[in-house]
Amino acid sequence: MTLDPAYLEYPMRRKGMDHDFYAWSDIHRRPALSWPGGCRVAVAIVVSLEWFPIMPAADAPFRAPGHMQTAYPDLRHYTAREYGTRIGFYRMLNAFARMGVKVSVATNAAIAQRYPSIIDDLLAGGHEIVAHSTDMDGTIDSSLAEERERELITRSLDILERSTGVRPRGWMSIARSQSFQTARLLKEAGVEYMCDWPNDDLPYRFDTPAGPIVNVPINHELSDRQIITVQQHSADSYAEQIQDAYRWLASENAPRMLPLHVTPYILGLPYRMGAFENLLEWLASQDDSGFLTTAEIAGSLPAAPDQE
């Protein structure tokens, strides 16, 4: 059988990326950034605050990570997720308060509608809200019609703004999944930065037809879901791997960011919280560390030339 020559034709075959969102670059050759407070390693904690419908709407385009699994109603997984919002999240809030740490909370709009007291409590702690879709059925990929995606983004932002009085500056998609239009639609909706592309140790600028938007990379491999739930490591092993990552980033002797993407129903369990609190104390004790929100990290990137 002869291979069709068209199979080898690829319009993006070139040096660099398979898209025009940004150019390829070597992190060691970029101008150094300056983090607020002068730290060298910016520790960015992102908490996923999620509401899962007890009956998934559909498996298309895909079922969100952590969604219901067994024959419905899946009370075991549903109530385990609810444990995160009822108990685990408050353990985390208490730990952050003791350490004086401000974090970014990727929040489903449904949390604001169903549990307004949670929103009040996280705002009282001085934490940042990052928009995280409507609920855990609000997934995005390129099979989603553009108008439907635009409506999902706008509705999420509008609900959180009505609840808090402030429109979220940042966005994190469910499972970090985007369509080819997402970055543009976020920019058109007034979003300043997104946390979906985990391909760097520094923020960088996306180019879209609507203008530039910043990407703050939140490393998926360092998330509690990946290390504890998927890889089945202990909370102590999770903490050790975060410490290893910190030491390596600090050794590069240049500003870097260390993202901690954590989940209340995973790390907020009583047999894991001790390891997490010890990790926070260890990170705070390092000479080169500083805790920053994702908005602070995004804001550290110099303005694009046409914005100056």
Give the pLDDT confidence of 166-191 residue by residue, as tens digits.
999 999 999 999 999 999 999 999 99
**In-domain check, residue 26:** no
Phi, psi dihedrals of residue 48, rounded to the nearest 5°? -85, 115
Whether residue 47 is contained in a domain is answered as yes
Question: Could you report the per-residue pLDDT of 41-77, keeping only the tens digit for each?
Answer: 999 999 999 999 998 887 777 889 999 988 789 999 9
pLDDT of residue 292: 98
Distance, CA of 190 to CA of 37 (rounded, Å): 27
Residue 20: inside a domain, yes or no? no
Highest mean pLDDT among 26-40, 59-73, 119-133: 119-133
Q: What pLDDT is attached to residue 198? A: 96
Specify if 224 maps to a domain.
Answer: yes
Task: Please list the residues that pair with 258 across neighbouring strands.
Answer: 43
Residue 141 maps to a domain: yes
Split at pLDDT 50, 70, 90, the class of 284 is: very high
pTM, two decimals, is: 0.93
Q: Is the alpha carbon torsion for 3, 9, 14, 20 positive or negative?
A: negative
Dihedral sign from CA coordinates of 137, 140, 143, 145: positive
Provide the CATH number for the domain around residue 65. Answer: 3.20.20.370
Q: How far apart are CA 25 and CA 195, in angstroms?
A: 19
The token pair that represents 308 in the structure block: 């100056």
The model's confidence at residue 307, banded by pLDDT at 50, 70 and 90, is very low
Q: With respect to residue 11, please indicate whether it lies within any of the assigned structural domains.
A: no
Q: Which domain, by its residues, includes 92? A: 35-302
- How far is Cα of residue 303 from the mean position of the Cα atoms in its chain? 22
Q: Where are the alpha helices (DSSP H) in 68-196?
A: 75-83, 89-99, 109-114, 116-124, 146-164, 182-188
Predicted pLDDT of residue 3: 79
Tokens matching residue 254? 């240049």
In this predicted structure, the answer to whether residue 300 has a pLDDT above a threshold of 90 is: yes
pLDDT of res. 1: 62
Specify if 107 maps to a domain.
yes
Q: Is 90 exceeded by the pLDDT of residue 6?
A: no
Rounded Cα–Cα distance for residues 176 and 226 (Å): 13
75: amino acid identity, one letter: L
**Six token digits for residue 183:** 């970055």
Expressed in percent and rounded to 5, the helix, strand and coil fractions of the chain are 45, 10, 45
Mind listing the pLDDT tens digit for each residue in 243-283? 999 999 999 988 999 999 999 999 999 999 999 999 999 99
246 occurs within a structural domain? yes
Q: What is the pLDDT of residue 308?
A: 40
Domains identified in the chain, total number: 1
Q: Cα–Cα distance between 21 and 4 in angstroms, integer? A: 30
- For the packed helices 116-124 and 89-99, what is the interaxial angle rounded to 10 degrees? 10
Mean pLDDT of the residues in the chain: 94
Give the residues across from 291 on adjacent strands.
43
State both tokens at 144: 């989603």
Stretch 88-103: mean pLDDT, rounded?
98
Residue by residue, DSSP assigns 236-267 as HHHHHHHHHHHHHHHHT-S-EEEEEEE-HHHH
Contact 20, 14 (CB under 8 A): no
User: In this predicted model, what pLDDT tens digit does every residue of 128-139 receive, in sequence order?
Assistant: 999 999 999 999
Q: What are the angstrom distances between the C-alpha of 88 and each of 170, 265, 271, 293?
A: 24, 6, 11, 20
